[in-house]
Amino acid sequence: MMIIAASLLFAAMSEGPPPYPQSLNCAALTRAWSQLEEAAGSAGAAQAEDDAGFWAFALMDAARRDGMTPRGAEADYARETLEARKRFDQRDANASRELLDCQLMIPTRKSEATTG
């Protein structure tokens, strides 16, 4: 189900997913946020998980497009997620702003921002 949803979301992105570095940053930030939301038992945990799933697919697509191996992308993703977690733990305001920017790039979230 998640794969179908991600495919539909990518189809909605006319220019395709962002370049690998930006996709990696967004994937790491949303995964770290998702982990924090889940640990807190937050009502936003499901949305956080959806956002993280979207960016994980975007990351792998960007990695494939750049000729990277899945193993290399997964290693980058794990490392950057740990760094993002540290940033959130340190209350890094830039991390929060970057997370919001990433969320607003998700097609379904874009439409929520303009209609809600």
Q: In this structure, what token pair is assigned to residue 41?
A: 């038992």
pLDDT for position 1:
43
State pLDDT tens for residues 31-68.
999 999 999 999 999 999 999 999 999 999 999 999 99
**Closest listed residue to residue 28, CA positions, set 63, 71, 80:** 80
Q: In this structure, what token pair is assigned to residue 81?
A: 């997620």
pTM: predicted TM-score of the whole model, two decimal places:
0.81
Distance CA 79, CA 59 (A): 14
Largest CA distance in the chain: 39
